[in-house]
Amino acid sequence: MRGLALAAHRLDRCRTLDDVAQQATSTGVELLDASSVAFCRIEQDTCRILLVTPVPTDPRRLWHTRASYRAEDRPALRELIRERTSWVAHAVDVNGDPVDAQDPEAGDEVEIETLRELGGGSALACPIVVNGIVWGQVYAARPPGAGLFTVDDVARAEVLAALAAGAIARVDLEDQVRHLVADDPLTGLANRRVIDSVAESALESGDETCIVMCDVDGLKRVNDLMGHDAGDDLLRTVGDVLRRITDALPGTTAARIGGDEFALVTQGRRRAEVSEVIASTLAMYPLPHGAAISYGIASTAVSGPVSARTLFRRADVEQYRNKRARARRLQVATPTADPGVTAERVVVVGSAAIAAAQSGVVPRLCALAAAVTETLGGSQWAVLMQRGDDASAVARGGSPADFDRDQSTRRFAYGPWVVDVGASSTAAQGPTVSAALEALVAVAVVGAG
């Protein structure tokens, strides 16, 4: 109790964040009978060490103090951030013998391996929570033979962390206000207000500016099947992937616009470089649960001087096009559907498209062709008019470059009107599907008067 009271007194006298770090670590060494205590900052699921007392002289330990640690690579850190729970890990048992890494009583395997690399025996960590957010952690270590950390040690460390949190809230008020106003609370990325301001500044600079709009494919499915906690974890993972992109493109700002929409703004980076970094990062760090990120890029090098709003809109259009293309790729890769089920889907989707179209034969047939082509996983469609032996195109649509090799065309006619519908090679075929399409073309023509 005397030690904790002394810690409270010392931390109350701190005037800067450096003072808090110094007092928390030096007091922690005394309170926890530790060989070293680290004061760490956690931002955007990444932990970095601000100060270690005493300062290590061993090259291995010194390197570890300068590294950053991501939650996705360290389960104990991820649990500390998500659940605000402390943890302990031991590389040796009470007799000083090496523990089995699979022993659940020894703690997390990754932390055990870290202790072994550094020649440590036991470690603990507890969160520093400021304004309801995990701001950082206190990490303490002991060498082999110095005893293992116990629940009483964890309790003392948690009180120390709480005292440090109070001091941080007082001395680091400006940073806390900025965080509350400018950051998305779930992912830690910037919010819409910040990204809009960054985009305006980038455009005013005259440098090439790229805006990337991103959308999470599969979030609704994860929420529906696994619950919103899993969906929140997925969004946090998206935030971490985008931070990896910003690390590879210094000066880039990442933001969560809202829901499953994210954005990046780059300044002075060529579009080709931005595209290459995004593609390689997404390939290296795929999302869990089969989810994925669709994105579109708009650059001033292509569009010339435009407003931020226009550039955002163009990136969003590109993102949506890529999202549809990815959906078609998935349809191509799926097994052939049951013809009866496919026919039913075609009728439902086609009827809705006809009903929503503008009046006239051509708009109704175009809406039908586009909707059915997307349903069948195709990429191109056309509406033609038959004149004698020739059929001339009235309208075409789709994305010709996407799936030429997987595209097949099915033709249906009613009177002089001909509709070419695109379909993937795996889409269901047969008289049931053909009859449904023929009926829809007739409904579109006859209903137009």
What pLDDT is attached to residue 404? 45
Peptide bond into 286 cis (omega under 30): no
DSSP-assigned beta bridge partners for residue 52: 38
Residue ranges of alpha helices (H) inside 173-299 are: 173-182, 192-205, 219-226, 228-248, 271-284
Q: Is residue 243 classed exposed, middle or buried when 0-12, 13-18 and 19+ CB atoms within 10 A define those classes?
A: buried
pTM: predicted TM-score of the whole model, two decimal places:
0.52
Among candidate residues 344, 339, 394, the one with its CA nearest the CA of residue 369: 394
Residue, of 290 and 50, whose pLDDT is higher:
50
Residues 329 and 343 in one domain: no
242 and 345 inside one domain: no
Q: Are residues 156 and 54 in the same domain?
A: yes
Q: What is the pLDDT of residue 199?
A: 93
The pLDDT of 38-62, averaged and rounded, is: 87
149 and 269 in a single domain? The answer is no
pLDDT of residue 73: 84
Strand partners, 136: 41, 128
Q: 191 and 157 in one domain?
A: no
> Is 427 found in the same domain as 323?
no
What is residue 231's predicted lDDT score, i.e. its pLDDT?
A: 87
Q: Same structural domain for residues 188 and 325? A: yes
Q: Are both 196 and 168 inside the same structural domain?
A: no
Are 16 and 159 members of one domain?
A: yes
Cα distances from 151 to residues 87, 100, 126, 155, 157, in angstroms, run: 10, 21, 12, 6, 10
Q: Residue 154 pLDDT > 70, yes or no?
A: yes
Question: What is the domain extent for residue 209?
Answer: 183-333
Query: At CA 313, angle to CA 311 and CA 316, rounded to 5?
Result: 110
- DSSP 8-state assignment for residue 55: P
Summarised one tens digit per residue, pLDDT across range 93-143 is: 988 889 886 777 889 999 999 999 899 999 999 999 988 889 999 999 999
Pairs from 286-290 (Cβ < 8 Å, separation ≥ 24): 287/216, 287/218, 287/234, 287/237, 287/238, 287/241, 288/233, 288/234, 288/237, 289/218, 289/221, 289/222, 289/226, 289/230, 289/234, 290/218, 290/221
Of 288, 441, 272, 245, the C-alpha closest to 362 is 441
Q: Which residue has the tokens 């997925």?
A: 234
pLDDT exceeds 80 at position 44: no
Number of domains into which the chain is organized: 3
Please say which residue of 135, 151, 176 terminates a domain: 176
Rounded mean pLDDT of 1-10? 80
The whole-chain average pLDDT of the chain stands at 85
CA distance 1 to 157: 12
Give the whole-number percent of the chain exceeding pLDDT 90.
34
Give tens-digit pLDDT for 424-441: 777 777 888 889 999 999
Candidate ranges 83-92, 278-287, 329-338, 403-412; pick with highest mean pLDDT: 83-92
Residue 147 sits in the same domain as residue 190:
no
Pick from 333, 356, 385: which residue ends a domain?
Answer: 333
Question: What pLDDT does residue 152 have?
Answer: 94
pLDDT at 284: 83
> Quick check: helix, strand or coil at residue 383?
strand
- Is 80 exceeded by the pLDDT of residue 413? yes
In this structure, of 103-117, 194-208, 234-248, 322-336, the range with the lowest mean pLDDT score is 322-336
Instruction: Work out the pLDDT band at 89, boundaries 50, 70, 90.
Output: very high
One domain, residues 37 and 60: yes
